A and B are shown apart, each in its own frame.
Chain A
């Protein structure tokens, strides 16, 4: 029973699902949701690596908290950017936003 491996496999699943979503989704909001999945997998991997090995416990918790803070900041900025894109183009599809001089 190697729980470290299992936690890392769950984190790998989150990362793969996030990547698949970035390929599969068409709108900017779908991409935002999938980036959140990726970041969550990163946090889980950091936490498992710190908690289940002799590494420093506090470092892992601090790293996970920093990842969460960065994800919150990223979601805020992306929401504002999506709103600006929607105001200018009237749509949020990745394929159709192709005019540089909006």
Chain B
């Protein structure tokens, strides 16, 4: 049983790693978005593997269903093509930061992780969605309402920004 779990975990990690690398280094933005979708599916699989099926379904619905469609619209509206800016060669400073900053983060945070992380459970307990709903409507009512308020304000702001008229540049 443990081996099956490890195999499924490794398969999802493979999807995540491949998708993440495609997301960052693909020339075309549409390909990058496809890599992002693969990564999101892999993370949703990890949520299922952690015995949190509700969060996994929410991940697929919100990220894969909504956010990636939004990004597709952004790509389509701004007419980004695979011959555009993303395909030109990079500056030297970008190469430098690409090799230095993530490496620093990997070594510092990875060292802290390996040194100080406690032993985790092997089998997480599954919880009922009903109890999660009770949790949200009971002691954590305020964050729940606040996140809906944030979503409402974001939606209104997006609509108002979208109505802006074209402004003539005077130069």
Contacts and interface: CB of A to CB of B under 8 A. Distances in A.
Contacts, number: 233
Interface residues of A, number: 70
A9 B16 CA distance: 12
A53 B120 CA distance: 5
Given A1-B2, A2-B119, A82-B78, A17 B24 contact: yes
Given A4-B120, A64-B55, A84-B161, A73 B154 contact: yes
Consensus secondary structure, chain B interface:
helix
Interface in A49-102: 51-53, 57-58, 61-62, 64-66, 68-84, 86-88, 91-93, 102
Contacts of B46: 7, 10, 44
5 contacts: A12-B109, A19-B105, A21-B24, A57-B125, A69-B62
Interface of A: 1-10, 12-17, 19-21, 23-27, 29-30, 32-34, 36-37, 40, 43-44, 47-48, 51-53, 57-58, 61-62, 64-66, 68-84, 86-88, 91-93, 102
Interface of B: 2, 6, 9, 13, 16-17, 20-21, 23-25, 29, 32-33, 36, 39-40, 43, 46-47, 50-52, 54-55, 58-59, 62-63, 66-67, 70-71, 73-75, 77-78, 80, 84-86, 88, 90, 94, 97-98, 101-102, 105-106, 109-110, 113-114, 117-122, 124-125, 127, 131-132, 135-136, 140, 143, 147, 150-151, 153-155, 157-159, 161-162, 164, 166-167, 169
